[in-house]
Amino acid sequence: MIKSVIWSSMIDYPDNVCTTMFTGVCNFDCEFCYNKGLLKEKELDFEKEILPKLLERKDFINHVIISGGECTIHKDFEEIINTLYDNGFAIGIHTNGYAPEILERVIDKIDYVGMDIKNDFDNYNAITQTEIDVEKIKKSVDIILKSGIKYEFRTTVYPKYVNTENVLKIAEYLKSVGSKKYVLQNYFDHNKTVIPYAAEKLREIQKECNEYLPTTVRGII
């Protein structure tokens, strides 16, 4: 399940020092994903290669984050959550929200979720490159908001498929369901094929989103 580990990060759970574990498979096929290379990596043995190091570093990290790929689709996901929880770690996950039934089973053992909202619900499939049921996304949002844990709903503003209108629809939806914040992530053009929005454009979108709920932008200089 685990393909790579960043032992110290202050990015994956903002304002916290965490260790982030990355899984290598996803149920979406977003063309801008920067973790697709993990598919080629050798799978690490959690019990033998990762857990002992985590226990050694326990006093120096605030959280263990499980990211992707998509962490919730793996058969070992819940077992790893339980092991981390039983060993006293604070746990967070990054997810696309497409497995609400899994999220609901682990929500009481985690205290942070970073969830991607890929696009407005009329245009989701353009990003995911697969037919999805948006009701599953909405269900995950509902589970997170009702849980009372810390959360982040975020959208990578990918110019090929995500424009101002799309983002404002997401902001309007999040406000309607009770979210108190929203994060826009700048697209990083690692393939040199799609030109990212300029910082000025992202700030304009942020300003319009702020009319609905407090919005921050990440990844601009």
- Identify the DSSP state of 22: E
Query: Does residue 59 belong to any structural domain of this protein?
Result: yes
Please tell me the predicted confidence (pLDDT) of residue 190: 67
| CA-to-CA dists, residue 176 to 32, 33, 168, 172, angstroms | 28, 28, 12, 6
CB atoms < 10 A from the CB of 148, how many?
A: 9
Query: Does residue 162 belong to any structural domain of this protein?
Result: no
Query: Does residue 43 belong to any structural domain of this protein?
Result: yes
CATH number for the domain spanning 144: value is: 3.20.20.70
Query: Does residue 117 belong to any structural domain of this protein?
Result: yes
Instruction: Tell me the two tokens of residue 2.
Output: 């685990």
Q: Model pTM?
A: 0.94
User: In whole angstroms, what is the distance from residue 84 CA to residue 98 CA?
Assistant: 23
Query: Does residue 63 belong to any structural domain of this protein?
Result: yes
Q: Which amino acid, one-letter code, is at 163? A: N
| CA-to-CA dists, residue 161 to 129, 142, 164, angstroms | 11, 25, 10
Closest C-alpha to 102, from 27, 152, 29: 27
Give the 3-state secondary structure percentages of the chain, helix then strand then coil, rounded to 5.
Answer: 40, 20, 40
Residue 70 near residue 90 (C-beta atoms within 8 A): no
Please tell me the predicted confidence (pLDDT) of residue 188: 82
pLDDT digit string (tens) for the chain, length 221 residues = 999 999 999 888 878 899 999 998 899 999 888 787 776 678 999 999 999 999 999 999 989 999 988 999 999 999 999 999 999 999 999 999 999 999 999 999 999 999 999 999 999 999 999 999 999 999 999 999 999 999 999 999 999 999 999 999 999 999 999 999 999 999 887 666 888 999 999 999 999 999 999 999 998 76
Q: Which residues span the domain enclosing 75?
A: 2-154
**202-208-209 Cα angle (round to 5):** 85
Query: Does residue 194 belong to any structural domain of this protein?
Result: no
Query: Does residue 86 belong to any structural domain of this protein?
Result: yes
**Count of structural domains, the chain:** 1
User: In whole angstroms, what is the distance from residue 104 CA to residue 19 CA?
Assistant: 23
